């Protein structure tokens, strides 16, 4: 078992093209794991878009779980700016 950091230097991972660069808005370029199942007749689509931003789908998920609009607004108001702070902490570290 390897850590995510160890994957970048693994010769087999590099040779098989398991990592790909993805443009992440507000972050820059990130190296992510691509589709590791690569078949000759059906190669797969690979990475089609950037991952969602932290909290991007929170309201949608909460609504599907039955939370009211008022409850959702209250939760979102309490964490306003938190995603940016977490992303800044990760990218500055």
Residue 83 CA from chain centroid, whole number: 13
Both tokens of residue 20?
A: 């790909």
User: What does the alpha-carbon distance between residue 67 and residue 55 come to, in Å, rounded to a whole number?
Assistant: 16
According to the model, what pLDDT value does residue 53 have?
Answer: 78
pLDDT higher than 50, residue 93: no
β-pair partners for 21 = 31
pLDDT higher than 80, residue 10: yes
Mean pLDDT of 75-90: 74
Higher pLDDT, 76 or 90: 76
Number of domain units in the chain: 2
pLDDT higher than 60, residue 92: no
Higher pLDDT, 54 or 6: 6
62, 93: one domain: yes
User: What does the alpha-carbon distance between residue 62 and residue 46 come to, in Å, rounded to a whole number?
Assistant: 29
36, 16: one domain: yes
According to the model, what pLDDT value does residue 29 have?
Answer: 84
Q: Give me the domain span that covers residue 16.
A: 1-47
User: What does the alpha-carbon distance between residue 46 and residue 16 come to, in Å, rounded to a whole number?
Assistant: 13
């Amino acid at each position: 078992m390897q850590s995510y950091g160890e994957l970048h230097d693994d010769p087999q991972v590099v040779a098989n093209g398991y990592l790909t660069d993805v443009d992440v808005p507000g972050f820059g370029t990130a190296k992510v794991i691509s589709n590791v199942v690569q078949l000759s007749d059906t190669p797969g689509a690979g990475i089609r878009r950037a991952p969602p931003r932290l909290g991007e789908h929170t309201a949608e998920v909460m609504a599907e779980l039955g939370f009211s609009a008022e409850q959702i607004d209250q939760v979102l108001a309490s964490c306003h700016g938190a995603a940016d702070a977490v992303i800044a902490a990760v990218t500055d570290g």
